Amino acid sequence: MKRSEIQQAIAWAKGFLWENNFALPMFADWTLDEWRIRRAEAETIIRTMRGWDVTTFGHDDFSRMGAVLFTIRNGLPDGSRGCPYAEKLILMREGQVLPNHFHRQKTEDIINRGGGTLLIRVFNSLPDGGVDRAGDVRILTDGMEYTVPAGTDVAITRGNSMTIYPGLYHLFTPEPGSGDLIVGEVSSINDDRTDNYFEAGRPRFIPVEEDCPVLIPLCNEYETLLT
């Protein structure tokens, strides 16, 4: 993905959040130079990978697969920095998909914070990590438990949520015709480097084609860019 496309996606996300009266912490607006100046005081932010994240999950068309994410809070698993929980936003354009995956350790509440309707497709995982396309799936929506067939698209309207527990495959997409989407995630500590298992073996972070200067670094670039 080109750097210019990443920066355009972040600009769209900021505008969409502003339209929906969702304010971000101050470091959401720091330029690369500000990050470098404030590196010492921002050590916890850096170490816990808070901030912007734009990914296509290895797909060649961001308009079809991908998302803009912003991690607001997080901690380290050993408790040495940050907090014992995480919070992030996942911003998606209508037509985008966040591909099928599960987490080995993280439990998360996925909340529709604004925009259209969120569809969450669910499957159980098999002992070898594969997708169970036959078994019924236990789901929890705002504390209420249901059982649905494998592959069901569960509709989450604004203000409502689903709990995603370890081993539960899930795919996100805005419902067609409902508009762009702000997804909230409140979870146990988040480690995107190790805790995502994608059905198709997709990468969580992607290489960047540098076609313009960096305005805002991504959360997985701090160690390389903040020198």
CATH number at residue 163: 2.60.120.10
**What is the tens place of the pLDDT at every residue in 176-187?**
999 999 999 999
**What is the tens place of the pLDDT at every residue in 73-91?**
999 989 999 999 999 999 9
For residues 156 and 111, what is the distance between their CA atoms, to the nearest angstrom? 8
**What pLDDT does 227 receive?**
80
How far, in whole angstroms, is CA 120 from its chain's centroid? Answer: 14
Q: Residue type for 6, please?
A: I
Q: What is the pTM of this model?
A: 0.96
* 152-161 mean pLDDT: 98
For residues 168 and 104, what is the distance between their CA atoms, to the nearest angstrom? 9
**What is the tens place of the pLDDT at every residue in 101-150?**
999 999 999 999 999 999 999 999 999 999 999 999 999 999 999 999 99
**What pLDDT does 38 receive?**
97
For residues 157 and 178, what is the distance between their CA atoms, to the nearest angstrom? 10
Is residue 19 pLDDT above 90, yes or no?
yes
Closest among 156, 174, 188 to 74, alpha carbons compared: 188
Where do the H-state alpha helices sit in 170-226? 222-225
How far, in whole angstroms, is CA 15 from its chain's centroid? Answer: 18
Q: What total of structural domains would you count in the chain?
A: 1
Name the strands in the sheet holding 51-55, side by side, starting at the edge strand that comes first in the sequence: 51-55, 67-75, 82-92, 181-187, 108-115, 161-164, 137-141, 144-148
Neighbouring CB atoms inside 10 A of 166's CB total 15
DSSP state of 126: P
Domain of 179, in residue numbers: 3-225
Query: In this prediction, what percent of the chain has a pLDDT beyond 70?
Result: 100
**What pLDDT does 158 receive?**
97
For residues 100 and 206, what is the distance between their CA atoms, to the nearest angstrom? 17
9 three-state secondary structure: helix
Query: Which residues are within 8 A (CB) of 201 and not within 5 positions of it... i.e. 6 or more apart?
Result: none
